Chain A
Amino acid sequence: MSEPHVAAVGTSPFGHTDLTGRDLFGAAVVEAFEGLPDPADVVEAVYVGNQSESYERQIMYGTLLAEWAGLRHVPAERVEGCAAAGAMALRHAVEDVRSGRRDAVLACGVEKMTAGGTAGATTALSAAFDRALEGRSGVTAPSQYALLAKRYLHDTEATERDLARIAVKNHANAVANPRAQFRREVDVETVLDSAYVAPPLKLFDCAPITDGAAAVLVTSEDVAATLPGDAVRVAGVGAGTNNIAVAERNLAVVEGAREVTTRAYEAAGVSPADVDVAEVHDAFTVSEALLAEAAGLAPRGRGYESALPPDERAEGWTATRLSTSGGLKARGHPIGATGLAQAVEVYEQLTGTATPDRQVDGATTGLLINEGGVADAVTVAHVLIHD
């Protein structure tokens, strides 16, 4: 048994680019290995988070990216869990190291979502639903989350304006993040005036379509000690599924995410109050509200207060800073890369290497929650600690 560490991180730019998936990966790896030995001298296996071959008509991303990193004859594979694929890749790397089987594993994620335009992305993402009754009914990703949001607004005191504030906060956070797709502020009226995509969700409640890649090197403590730069301990992991069809779930609580996050806390020996920074899966604004509650960072039914100053929130909120990267909403949401982009943000926060405008002083414990399918059809959570 060896405590796994995040020893190096890198990303491509996030946004709409002419670069292909492999090129984006190349950018992420170049950054991650800056000042390090070549990947071939360190990396023993590769896991690639990648949602769908329908964007680029390319599978075999394990083989392709291993080759692009100069890794010969290593085990390399793509893992699939829609938008949770990135954290799945990270988890496989972490478990390989924790078990003692390997000393250094590269977890990476890549998606080139713009290749097929909006229609292509709609079709690709719709493959994540239960096809029999959901997909064939013509639901889409925004409308699936809208079903949750409608019920959330019905069951709580939350308003569309409260959800809009979450988008405003995450755009404001992204201004200070050089990696973010949208480094610009928006105001509440802009969000509220944007077109409905699926009521109550509007265009500005939705994460964008993004091209991007991220790479995270996970190593044993001993290997991390030989590498330049700081390392962060992966103290706890949780992973688990919920129903694939939204209809059969508890619509008020993302139970799967709650269970998985609780497991990650228990493995790490921390409680919600210990979490300084959290990257949660705000694919839609309502997701940040639901996940703040599921992770125990907000009291039940009050997650919508995520964007309010601490003194205006209900009793029971932790002091955790949410989505300092700008979240999926404004950093961008390159599906298979998102879970690793979350890890990059928390690594930078915990090592004090985030840009000054977004650095959370003294952050030592971070939480990652990455979801796939609609909401918590699958959830992977990691707790990272900088000792």
Chain B
Amino acid sequence: MTDDTSPPTAPRTAADVTADSPFTLPGFFAALADGDLLAAVCRDCGAHLIPPRPACYACGGRTLRAESQPLTGDVITYTEVRTPPPALEARAPYTVAIVELDSGARLTGRLTVPHADAAIGMRVRLTTRPPDDDELAMALDNERDWPIHEFDPIAADD
């Protein structure tokens, strides 16, 4: 729901807090399902916050705008989950990472390579897909339409 000329701004009235707003999780995930990763960008200090939220943790400011983020970034740390949540037992082991996007925003997600092939500094791209059955098994009713995000490695020649 982004508009290049007038990006959505953080809610300043109760009426602004709707499931269409990217400053709520339903709105954020609806955009993500369309491949649009939104961060709240603080007008006061420039912090990029994923998912968007109504106030800036870095400076306390409440003037934030939802802006589309680059989907590419670098792995800054990673590990392998060998003792997973019960619903994901058959999926383990799997790799998880914290990625710093090229905009500076950071988020955690699964990395689609074996742990042995991961590295700090690895270039990756965020992708999304609908949840698989095991992921649906651990989803709440209101989360079933939310996409699963993952990071794919970017080959050096990409």
A146-B80 Cα distance, complex, nearest whole Å: 8
Further contacts, 7 of them, CB under 8 A, given A133-B50, A138-B84: A123-B86, A133-B149, A136-B143, A139-B81, A139-B108, A245-B107, A247-B107
A118 at interface, CB cutoff 8 A: yes
B123 at interface, CB cutoff 8 A: no
Contact status B108-A246, CB under 8 Å: yes
Contact status B91-A133, CB under 8 Å: no
A243-B149 Cα distance, complex, nearest whole Å: 21
A246-B99 Cα distance, complex, nearest whole Å: 11
Known: A136-B146, A137-B109, A147-B98. A126 touches B79 (CB 8 A): no
A243-B53 Cα distance, complex, nearest whole Å: 12
Contact status B50-A148, CB under 8 Å: no
Contact status B91-A199, CB under 8 Å: no
From B80, B109, B138, A133 is in contact (CB under 8 Å) with B109
- A-B pairs with beta carbons under 8 Å apart, 16 shown: A119-B86, A122-B85, A133-B109, A134-B108, A138-B94, A139-B108, A143-B80, A147-B77, A149-B79, A150-B79, A151-B77, A198-B80, A199-B80, A245-B107, A246-B98, A251-B76
Taking CB atoms and an 8 Å cut-off, the chain B residues in 112-142 that contact chain A are 115, 120, 135, 138-139
Q: How far is the CB of B56 from chain A (nearest CB, A)?
A: 11
A132-B37 Cα distance, complex, nearest whole Å: 13
Interface residues on A, range: 35 or more
Known: A133-B50, A136-B146. A248 touches B80 (CB 8 A): no
A248-B106 Cα distance, complex, nearest whole Å: 6
A154 at interface, CB cutoff 8 A: yes
A247-B149 Cα distance, complex, nearest whole Å: 15
Q: Name the A residues within 8 Å of B98 (CB-CB).
A: 147, 246-247, 251
Known: A137-B96, A138-B88. A196 touches B80 (CB 8 A): yes
B74-102 contact mask (Cβ, 8 Å, vs A): 1 or 0 = 00111111111110100100101111000
A360 at interface, CB cutoff 8 A: no
Top-8 shortest CB links A-B: A146-B79, A151-B77, A247-B106, A119-B86, A247-B98, A198-B79, A150-B77, A143-B81
Q: Name the B residues within 8 Å of A199 (CB-CB).
A: 79-80, 115
Contact status A132-B51, CB under 8 Å: yes
Contact status A138-B110, CB under 8 Å: yes
Q: How far is the CB of B131 from chain A (nearest CB, A)?
A: 9
A138-B25 Cα distance, complex, nearest whole Å: 18
A173-B49 Cα distance, complex, nearest whole Å: 42
| Residue of A137, A150, A243, A251 most packed against chain B (CB within 10 A) | A137
Q: How far is the CB of A156 from chain B (nearest CB, A)?
A: 13
A253 at interface, CB cutoff 8 A: no
A12 at interface, CB cutoff 8 A: no
Contact status B80-A251, CB under 8 Å: no
From A132, A140, A148, B85 is in contact (CB under 8 Å) with A140
Q: How far is the CB of B43 from chain A (nearest CB, A)?
A: 18
Contact status A154-B108, CB under 8 Å: no
Contact status B83-A142, CB under 8 Å: yes
Give the number of residues in B that approach A within 8 Å (Cβ atoms).
38
**Chain A minimum-CB-distance residue to B80:** A199
A158 at interface, CB cutoff 8 A: no
**Chain A minimum-CB-distance residue to B143:** A136
Q: How far is the CB of B110 from chain A (nearest CB, A)?
A: 5
A119-B84 Cα distance, complex, nearest whole Å: 9
From B25, B77, B79, B94, A132 is in contact (CB under 8 Å) with B25
Q: Name the B residues within 8 Å of A142 (CB-CB).
A: 83
Taking CB atoms and an 8 Å cut-off, the chain A residues in 34-49 that contact chain B are none
Contact status A150-B51, CB under 8 Å: no
Contact status B83-A118, CB under 8 Å: yes
A192 at interface, CB cutoff 8 A: no
A140-B146 Cα distance, complex, nearest whole Å: 20
A247-B148 Cα distance, complex, nearest whole Å: 17
| Residue of B97, B98, B108, B115 most packed against chain A (CB within 10 A) | B108
Contact status B84-A247, CB under 8 Å: no
**Chain B minimum-CB-distance residue to A119:** B86
A198-B94 Cα distance, complex, nearest whole Å: 10
B35-78 contact mask (Cβ, 8 Å, vs A): 1 or 0 = 00000000000000111000001000000000000000000111
**Chain A minimum-CB-distance residue to B110:** A137
A268 at interface, CB cutoff 8 A: no
**Chain A minimum-CB-distance residue to B92:** A138
Q: Name the B residues within 8 Å of A126 (CB-CB).
A: 85
Q: Name the B residues within 8 Å of A138 (CB-CB).
A: 81, 84-85, 88, 91, 94, 96, 110
Contact status B107-A133, CB under 8 Å: yes
Known: A138-B84, A198-B83, A246-B108. A150 touches B78 (CB 8 A): yes
Q: Name the B residues within 8 Å of A148 (CB-CB).
A: 77
**Chain B minimum-CB-distance residue to A134:** B108
Known: A122-B86, A133-B149, A136-B143. A247 touches B81 (CB 8 A): no
